Structure 1
Amino acid sequence: MISYEYPLNERIRTLLRLEDLFLKLAHFTANSGPQDHHIALLTLFETLEVASRADLKVDLVQELERQRQILVSFRNNPEISEEALAGALYEIEQASTGLLAMAGKIGQYLRENEWLMSIRSRAAIPGGVCEFDLPSYHYWLNHAPEVRRRDIEGWLSPMAPIRDGLGIVLRLLRASGHPENQLARAGAYQLTMAGRSAQMLRVRVPRSEPVVPEISANKYALNIRFLLPETVARPRVAERDVAFELTFCSL
């Protein structure tokens, strides 16, 4: 099955974007090639840009505290494992402590690094980070892989509480829903929300189905069209019934 997640508010949209960027950062940093570490650095700049758009730290702290209170209410419940509950509470408390310890604007230490900001500004120009544009960056890219990796991890580590906090929130959000089997007749599916509240939708489609969901939703209605994933022509609606799995997720 291929999962497609659709955020229904700006806060979840930001968290999903940051999650994707942190995953890419981890992937490219773990590799050893100069081009891998170049992409890791560009991804770090994207992460800085997205994380600066909202009062992210406050939102995460408040949501983690809300989830902590919910979990505390499950104590002494015979149907809940005390060991698992204690582990979840510890994880939330550790993430909250890390977030509260973050001082100032997210990523301000990166903005104060003139060398990194010179790379960031040149990277906005197509082909702008050639060796003749940034010889000091070319020198860095020719360092040993472990030196570059240590530098990237050092620049990333102050943002680790953001990564850990959003990871917990998104994990709880994904676990909150109950999947339902649905059928899009002639490639189209409509549902009246009728007071149903959700923060994110998950659509899962069998890998054998060569279709891509196009999702639009508001507080009144949900519409999904399954399109044929054309790479040359304009995408067309798959004019056949498509079975899929739909999950409404809400904290």
Structure 2
Amino acid sequence: MDCQFEFPLSEKFRAYLRLDYLLRRLFKAADNADWPFFTALFDLLDVLERGDIKAELIKDLERTIEQLGRWAAMPGVDAEQLSGLNKELQGHRQWLLTQQRLPPGWRDDPLLMALRARFSVAGGDAPFDLPQLACWQQRSAVLQQADVAAWLDKVEPVARALGLFLHLVREGGRREQVLARNGFYQASAENLVLLQLAGLPAGLYPSVSGHRGRYTVRLMALGDDGETTAVADDIPMVLTHCSWQ
């Protein structure tokens, strides 16, 4: 089975991918509101408090809407599909514009804020450290899931907006088969923000460095003992270059 990897090549998209990862982790852990769920929730809150992701996402949604407008003038384009995408993007943009902070309401929740103060401590969810959490977990499953659903409702629009934007960027990627000679590959690019790698044999992983204009890939082998070594063989792989203005 081959392995697939994705790397951001701009700080903004690094933040986007980290946010997307945490949102997925949060929703996946929602069925069992325990340590992994709250860890993902507070990690997500920390990421949202760094920089102004909301403003950047609004700008990128607006650029995408403008791009759809240019595509609509091209012959052979599915106008109905473009119209649906435009409507969805406009809705996400409008919701984000109405929010003062992301996610709305979490910082006003006394239970979440009481828990957050202890979750940075290793083992800080022990009952003697967080009696509020122990008490909350003794509530019925129905009441717990009602609270979880209310918390998730605050970030679901963010997840949908970011997920759609990243999907469109990825779908616009340029895919090609390349050869990493002696396990090494480098290339120039224009406005590159995401690099996807596929087709690598199991046991190999890429170490990627670079920026929007140029990048390098060094293939590494992960041994059974956990040690890593640079690959010296010629390895074919599939690269997808995803660009954004």
Gaps of 5+ in 2: none
Between the aligned partners of 2:221 and 2:146, the Cα distance in structure 1 is 44
1:203 alignment counterpart:
197
Q: Is the 8 A contact 1:212 1:227 kept in 2?
A: yes
Q: Give me the identity figure in percent.
A: 28
SS in structure 2 of the partner of residue 199 of structure 1: strand
Structure 1 residues 1-251: aligned runs within 5 Å? 1-29=2-30, 31=31, 33=32, 36-75=33-72, 77-103=74-100, 105-107=101-103, 109-191=105-187, 193=188, 196-206=190-200, 208-218=201-211, 221-230=214-223, 232-251=225-244
Aligned length: 243
TM-score, with structure 2 as normaliser:
0.91
After TM superposition, the structure 1 stretch with the greater mean CA deviation from structure 2, 140-149 or 88-97, is: 140-149
After TM superposition, the structure 1 stretch with the greater mean CA deviation from structure 2, 196-205 or 69-78, is: 69-78
Q: Is the 8 A contact 1:37 1:149 kept in 2?
A: no
SS in structure 2 of the partner of residue 89 of structure 1: helix
Q: CA deviation at 1:22?
A: 0.7
Structure 1 segments (4+ residues) deviating >4 Å: none
Between the aligned partners of 1:220 and 1:102, the Cα distance in structure 2 is 34
Q: Is the 8 A contact 2:35 2:125 kept in 1?
A: no
Between the aligned partners of 1:76 and 1:200, the Cα distance in structure 2 is 27
Q: CA deviation at 1:115?
A: 2.5
SS in structure 1 of the partner of residue 72 of structure 2: coil
SS in structure 2 of the partner of residue 74 of structure 1: helix
Gaps of 5+ in 1: none
Between the aligned partners of 2:104 and 2:28, the Cα distance in structure 1 is 24
1:23 alignment partner AA: R
SS in structure 1 of the partner of residue 174 of structure 2: coil
Whichever structure has more strand as a proportion of its residues is: 2
Q: Is the 8 A contact 1:44 1:156 kept in 2?
A: no
Q: Is the 8 A contact 1:188 1:226 kept in 2?
A: yes
After TM superposition, the structure 1 stretch with the greater mean CA deviation from structure 2, 71-80 or 208-217, is: 71-80
Q: Is the 8 A contact 2:195 2:242 kept in 1?
A: yes
Q: CA deviation at 1:59?
A: 1.1
1:177 alignment partner AA: G
Between the aligned partners of 1:230 and 1:177, the Cα distance in structure 2 is 32
RMSD over aligned CA atoms reads 1.9
TM-score, with structure 1 as normaliser:
0.89
Q: Is the 8 A contact 2:173 2:242 kept in 1?
A: yes
Q: Is the 8 A contact 1:68 1:92 kept in 2?
A: yes
